[in-house]
Amino acid sequence: MIDADQTIAGMIEELSEEYDLETSPYTIAGNTFSFVSVRDSYALLDRISPEDFVKDEQMPYWAEIWPAAVTLSEFIVEGLDVAGKKVIEIGAGIGLASVTAAKMGADVMATDYSGEALRFIRLNALKNRVGLGTERLDWRCIQRDDRFDVFLAADVLYERVNLLPIVNAVDKLMRPEGCAYIADPRRRLAQQFLDLAFENGFSVTSYAKSFSRGRQTIPVNIYRLSKTREDDA
């Protein structure tokens, strides 16, 4: 059997032939993590063919560690009991929130539209000694029939065209008694998303948080969506 460290080293070597990598340590509520990401996501723009961009207008947002993802991960550790629960993350990127949830004992399915992202999620899961599932998922067209206790997403409310598909994805993927937690760096589109959530029968609770690293502080809201009141959940 190949040693896990050998597997990790092999994955990093393979990815480093295609990407300029960086490894970032994070301490989240006393838990130490290490995540591999792309040093400069803008360098990936040249990898997108004009045909693919016209089809999907997909930018390589998956390649960065976003403040909202760190804040959501902190919220998971400090404020959620996910142990033993089925959790799905959409737009998981390099997998920070998914890996954190798995570390806290959740049964996690980490998804992203980008197949490139899934390779980083699998690597980061191994680096942090957790098990999770990965799957390519287009939130505009959900094919899964199973449902989850907890739905996670970080910094996905950046395009107006995505707002209703994300609301529909929550409705499709979350169990009726489940909860969704969506972290957002207070983008103006967030209010339109919340309006759509209300119109589709969700109750919403907002938690004001912030991301701090060095001298940088970024306000982040975490929106809890459910079909039940919080005191009933």
List all residues 6 or more positions away from 212 whose beta carbon is below 8 Å from its beta carbon.
218
Cβ-in-10-Å burial (0-12, 13-18, 19+) of 41 comes to: middle
Q: What is the pLDDT of residues 159-207, one digit of tens each?
A: 999 999 999 999 999 999 999 999 999 999 999 999 999 999 999 999 9
Domains by residue range for the chain, with CATH: 4-232 (3.40.50.150)
**Crossing angle for the helix pair 96-103 and 67-79, nearest 10 degrees?**
10
Tens-digit pLDDT profile for residues 181-192: 999 999 999 999
Residue 229's Cβ-side half-sphere holds a number of Cα atoms within 13 Å equal to: 2
Q: Quick check: 217 and 210 in contact, CB under 8 A?
A: yes
Quote the distance between the C-alpha of residue 203 and its chain's center: 21
Which residue positions in the chain have pLDDT lower than 50?
Answer: 1, 53-54, 231-233
Nearest CA-CA partner of 163 in 126, 128, 196: 196
| DSSP letter (8 states) at residue 233 | -
At residue 52, the pLDDT reads 53
Nearest-CA neighbor of 211 among 75, 63, 20, 57? 75
Distance of CA 67 to the CA centre of its chain: 11
Assign residue 102 a region (left: φ > 0; alpha: ψ between -120 and 50; beta: otherwise).
alpha
